Amino acid sequence: MPVGTVDSLESKASQTAWAGSAERDLLALGTVVAAIILFIGTGGSVLSGVFAQFAGTGMGPDRLLACAFILNIALIIFGWRRYRDLNSEMQVRRIAEEQARILAEIDPLTGCLNRRSIGDVTDHFLAEIALRGKAAAFVMLDLDNFKQVNDVNGHAAGDALLCASANRIKQLLPSESLLARFGGDEFACIIPFDPNQHELIDRLCEELIAAVGRPVVFRGAELETTVSAGVTRSDGLEVKHDAQTLLHMADIAMYNAKKRGRNRHYWFEPSMESELRFRSELEAGIRRGITLDEFVPYYEKQIDLKTGELVGFEMLARWQSPTLGIVGPDIFIPIAEEIGVIAQLSENLIRKALTDARSWNPRLTLSVNISPIQLRDPWFAQKLLKLLVEANFPANRLDIEVTENSLHDNVAMVRSMITSLKNQGISVSLDDFGTGYSSLSQLQSLPFDRIKIDRSFITTLPGNRDSATIVRSITSLGQGLGLPITAEGVENEEILRELRQFGDFKAQGYLYGRPNSASVTHAELAQLNLLLELPDDGSDAVEAVDEAVAAPDIARIA
């Protein structure tokens, strides 16, 4: 079936309806035939009697035969009208049924086949091209930032982008190809080609990516997108696969193209399926782990370089997986963000961390990282305030860390969120500074309390002039804006010596110990006499905090 599938299906619908019109309703047709036979049988006697009466040579027709004759005429008229109406009704119904079948087989927006119909015709399609000695390339195309186009410009703009993309794909595909839209922003192409000309498919994929990536003008606005593609082929594999399996392989390759930077195409490799299976197991494990409370906070020390005192901890997430062991946040946080569970995961961890930190000396602060997704939640500040109230934890001891890259999603919303948090007494730090693209005007307009230099600049300080220049510049910037600075990644004495040259910092890193669980951290603070004795009678813990402030005892770590 060619790319122009809609026209061929509509033509088929008309042919089917025309064939259906030739069928007869047996009852109506039988009535007409019987009436005609009776009409012929009685017509001769009745009409001859009528003519004889008018000529004055006879008595006229028999009244009973005349009544039968008139009844036959009525039956003929009634039967014919009934036959004609039923025939017309059947024709309309068959056209409607065929149109419904067409709508079930094509995507009404783009005119492409849909997921269901391409599955029905592909195996037959593969058999046909195999008889001609051709192979088939299965290409899955996905628009990379389609959701953003929808969110920013509206669904009408998204529909226009999909239609334009489908038309551009149709124009480039060979005439015998199949094209389907798999819902959302994903398209599937099945393209016959000479198995000895593998490079033609690579060239076609590059042309498809370039064509769909061109801007689409909609109501004066330019809609831009990029495309990720996955490819596999129907021959040359160790085992024979059906069409659905080949489409699945192309989909896996497309996902791999997205993971490796988008706006490109990749051919399917067996290792990709193993990676995807592992990813699927991770997703299921994360969802299960949240339910079973497997995610726990770990704590990394923060030290004042000027005094050498322990001044707080940064909470870092860990996953205590029963099958994988202790899993770091660099593995599960991006996945949790993609599958939409990061808010629940983060709130559970913050709740635990606030409960743990209640027993610390009140001069010790707690720093918590939040996801850019949480910054887009207009109720995040209220949720955080609720957690503080539940834990009876002072807001001025909590520091929320916002990554620099999150500022570009919606600066106005970020500013509103930061202001709301600060109004509650919570400090807000700009994390990973130097790795994003924040401007000086943003730093000046956003009410941050602290800057955190990314560890990539700190760990390379010794012997690296560029890193030293960057750290010096950030230090000067912080001093000019009145923002204190925290340096991450202080892992040895050599880094510490280099860092001291640039001023007074708060520092954290493996030099002061690796992140530890709540129980280990509690034991260390007990040895340093940095724990509070909280009341067990349910009374307000704030009184105990005030008493501890009156008798400070901060240990010197470095």
- Reading the block at residue 65, the tokens are 């035969």
Q: Which residues contact 131 (CB under 8 A, 6 or more apart)?
A: none
pLDDT of 183 = 76
For each successive 10 residues of the chain (558 residues), what is the average pLDDT? 45 43 54 64 59 58 64 70 73 70 73 78 80 87 87 87 93 90 88 86 93 90 90 65 83 89 90 83 94 96 93 96 92 92 95 96 95 88 94 95 77 83 91 70 78 89 88 88 91 92 90 94 94 58 40 36
> Over 31-66, what HEC string results?
HHHHHHHHHHHHHHHHHHHHHHHHHCCCCCCCHHHH
CA distances from 215 to 179, 206, 212, 529 (A): 22, 16, 8, 64
pLDDT of 155 = 86
pLDDT of 35 = 63
Q: What is the DSSP letter of 531?
A: B
pLDDT of 122 = 79
Fold that domain 294-531 belongs to in CATH = TIM Barrel (3.20.20)
pLDDT of 60 = 58
Q: pTM for the full model? A: 0.64
Separation CA 104–CA 85 (nearest Å): 28
- Reading the block at residue 194, the tokens are 């000479």
User: Are the CB atoms for 157 and 150 separated by under 8 Å?
Assistant: yes
**For the CA atoms of 151, 153, 156, 160, what is the dihedral angle to 10 degrees?**
-110
pLDDT of 238 = 39
Separation CA 264–CA 249 (nearest Å): 16
Fold that domain 113-268 belongs to in CATH = Alpha-Beta Plaits (3.30.70)
Question: Cβ atoms within 10 A of the Cβ of 22, count?
Answer: 8
pLDDT of 97 = 65
Q: Which residues contact 435 (CB under 8 A, 6 or more apart)?
A: 404, 405, 454, 456
458-464 long-range Cβ contacts below 8 angstroms, 24+ apart:
458/487, 458/488, 458/489, 458/490, 458/495, 458/499, 458/509, 459/489, 459/491, 459/495, 461/495, 461/498, 461/499, 462/494, 462/495, 462/498
DSSP string for 223-256: E---EEEEEEESSS-SS---HHHHHHHHHHHHHH
Helix (H) or strand (E) holding 305: none
**Domain extents in the chain:** 5-105, 113-268, 294-531
User: Are the CB atoms for 231 and 137 separated by under 8 Å?
Assistant: yes
